Each structure stands twice: as C-alpha cells, then as structure tokens.
Amino acid sequence: MTTAKSAGAHNAGDPYLPHSGNGGYAVDSYDLDLRYRVATNRLDATAVIVARSTQELTSFSLDLVRLRVSRVRLTGEKRTRFRQTPSKVVVTPAQPIAAGEEFTVELAYAGSPAPRRSHWGLVGWEELTDGVIVAAQPNGAPTWFPCNDHPSDKARYRIRMSAEEPYTVVATGRLVSHGFASGRGTWLYECDEPTATYLATVQIGGYLRRHVEVAPTPVVFVFPAELEARVHADFAPLATMLETFSDAFGPYPFPDFTVIVTEDELEIPLEAQGSAIFGENHVDGEGGSERLIAHELAHQWFGNSVGLAAWKHIWLNEGFACYAEWIWSERAGRDTADQLARRYHAGLRTLPADLLLADPGPALMFDDRVYKRGALTLHALRLTVGDPAFFGLLRAWTERRRFGTAVTDDFRALAAEVTGAPADVLDALFDAWLDALPVPDLPPAPGRVRARARR
C-alpha cells in the first residue's frame, strides 16, 4: 500500500459523509459518454476526467457505486492499474503524479444503475415507470458516473447520452445538439459553469420539450404531453418570480432555467444545476405548488451558484431558499415575510431545542427546522440592519461568491463588511441564531418600531 503522504485520501474529510469525496486532487471537467437502454436499465459508459493534483499522488480514488469498471487509462500510459471496492475506484499510476500537475483519466464502466441507500433514503439514479430520474443530493452522483463526490469540488461538464428514440433526454447544461439514428436519439449537453457533483443530473422520459423566451432568462419546459395545460397554469408566475428574485438577489446566474415534470409522483421537488424537477403530483393546474416552485428557483442562486464548502453549512442553501419563499409570498400579495416569520417562529418554539443551525449533524441536515430557522435568521438580520443593507448584502453575496463555495463564517464576515451594523450587534445575532440551541426572540417588526418612535 502507498504511504499516506503521497496517496490521495479516500475521503474528503467531511464528517457528514465520511465515505464520500476524495483528497489529493481537484477536478476541472467531466466528459461523460453514456449509452443507455431504458427497457433493460443498462448503462454502458465512458468518463474522461481532467483534474489537477494538490499533492504528489502515488494513487488516488474516485467514487462509484454498483457499476463495474472494465478499463482505466491515464494519459501517457498504455495500461493503468486500478482496483475497485463497493464505493471506490482506486487508481495507481505507473509513476507518481507531481503536486500541481494536470492529469487526465479515462474510465470505461457499465452495469444496471440503481439508487444507493443513505441516512436520507434512496438517492441517485432511479427508474421511473417509464424513464429515469437522478436525485443525487447529497451522495447519489456515484450511482451513474465516477467522480469526486463532494460539494466543494465543482467542475465543468460535457454529457453525451443516447437512449431509445421515443425518449427525451435532459442533462445538466445547455443543449448543444441532438439527433436520431438507427432507432436511438443522442443528446449532447455542455455546462461551463462550475457544478457540484450532486447537482449534475440526467432525466429521461417520454417528454415534450418547450422553449419559452422569458426576458432576461429563457425557460425550457419538459413534461409529459398530458400535463401540458397544468404545467402552463402552475408555472405562469415563473416570469415574475425570476424578475423578483433577480431584483432581490442579483442577476439569474445561468444561461437558462429548465423545468422538468415527471409523469410519476415524487415525494418532494429537487434542484439541479440550472434546473428543477417536479413530480406529476406537484402540478395540479391550480397553483398548489407555487411555494415549492419559488424554493427550487431560489436554489439557483443559493446552493447552485453559491455552493457549500462542506455539508455542515447546509443552512446557506436551505435557509436562503426558504426565505425566498417568504419574499415571493409578499411580492405576490399574500402573507408578508414578517407574518410568515412570526408564524414559523411560534411553531419552532414548540419543538425540541436540540438543533445547532451552524452544525446540525448528518441526521438533521435536512430537518425542516434547518429550513425554517435558517430563514428566521435571515429575517432577524433583515429587521436588524434594514431592507437596503439586507438586500445589498444578498446581492453582494451572490456576486462575490458566484460559482464558488462558502462557509457560514464567510457570510458573517460579509455581513459585517457591507451592512454597516455594529460588530457586537451582528455577533450577538449570529451567535444566538446559529450557535445556540434555544430559539431566540425575533426583533420587533418595522411597524412596531415606528409606532414606538412616534409616542
């Protein structure tokens, strides 16, 4: 076995997912050539991965689950040694890879992809009644391609996929080309924006595809034909949502936004890079999922463009997307953000006080309290610094961290820099909401402040 100092670590050091991700290198790009048969759930694939070492490497590993690798080749080698465990492919180059060196590894692999079990249920590649959904958060990406499965290692993607002709394939990125030959369709997507592995996706089904010009963000709708009227009705507010969030958070970060609606029911919608996936049960034709549409759209700013450096900071994704729901409710003329905040604040105080927002632990990282307490933290900050400073902070956050990653302390530091609020006030607020168990009091609503001032 190689020494620890020159072998890439077989995990990323994230205690929430101790067996996911890999050390010793960072990926620049994934080029995936996927040949899939829906009828038999058979995947034959090639992955070409360009990466750069962060230390000398006598070996390194990639995450891959269930699928079997038949060949590995590093550039410049005729044959590269490798071994495979249930969740890793360990590659041993003929000569050590020097620190800071770019290298390319090609893997041929195949099998019947399936979701993997996790703390949070089944995640990854999953067969639908007639098609495929990929729901990879947080550790499902290795169910369909070899990767460095950690949110901090963002990369570019080129995904070429073929499937039987009746099916439409949607993948991460913009559609570059598609065509049909010998009863099969081939679709090529390219994504130049740095993307976390859990946000890369493939969706396959008997779908219609509709491109709609919604200034300044084009929208692509993908859905079963029988749901067309319901889709158009339920997503009618999307143009105004895009306008509202672009004003609140800064420009939409991707070339377009793709909405996929499956013919199957899904427990919850999910976000992917530049897209969101909904189940048939989320489109009722009566706007019943408007809150969820707002939430998944907001993730394009918070989670997808500004990503996580580690899973403990999940509130930076979910708390922000939840608060976007409240902003949209207010913009749509329904409950104000303050009304919603006080309602959920009262509810949180009836629940156990056993969750630290800044470090909820893997079992609670998707607990609804992370969403609501995260949103309440932002509302408390908004009430403390005022709307101009608060929304200026959100726009600065998405601009400075665009396509990067962040931790909670980065947000705290930026708040101190751009809001003008006293440091002791911000420290007390963040310490209470992020690093203590009891649910703090909310600051008074603006109207109450003005009422007291007039007396």
Which residues have a catalytic role annotated?
296, 371
HEC secondary structure over 301-320: CECCCEEECCHHHCHHHHHH
- Identify the sign of the CA torsion 270, 134, 146, 258: negative
CA torsion, ordered 207, 212, 217, 221, to nearest 10 deg: -20
Residue type, 15: P
Concatenating the DSSP letter of every residue in 319-385 gives HHHHHHHHHHHHHTTSS-HHHHHHHHHHHHTTS-----TT---GGGTT-HHHHHHHHHHHHHHHHHH
Select from 300, 235, 260, 253 the least CA-distant residue to 168.
260
Say which DSSP state 96 is in.
Answer: P
Query: Is 313 marked within a binding site?
Result: no
Cβ atoms of residues 302 and 271 within 8 Å: no
Query: Is 295 marked within a binding site?
Result: yes
Cβ atoms of residues 15 and 60 within 8 Å: no
Helical ranges in 174-312 per DSSP H = 228-234, 238-249, 290-298
CA distances from 333 to 40, 336, 380, 387 (A): 49, 8, 21, 18
**Range 394-410 burial, b when 16+ CB lie within 10 A, else e:** bbbbbeebeeebbbbeb
Say which DSSP state 179 is in.
Answer: E
Say which DSSP state 7 is in.
Answer: B
Cβ atoms of residues 397 and 414 within 8 Å: yes
Q: Which residues are annotated as a binding site for Zn(2+)?
A: 295, 299, 318
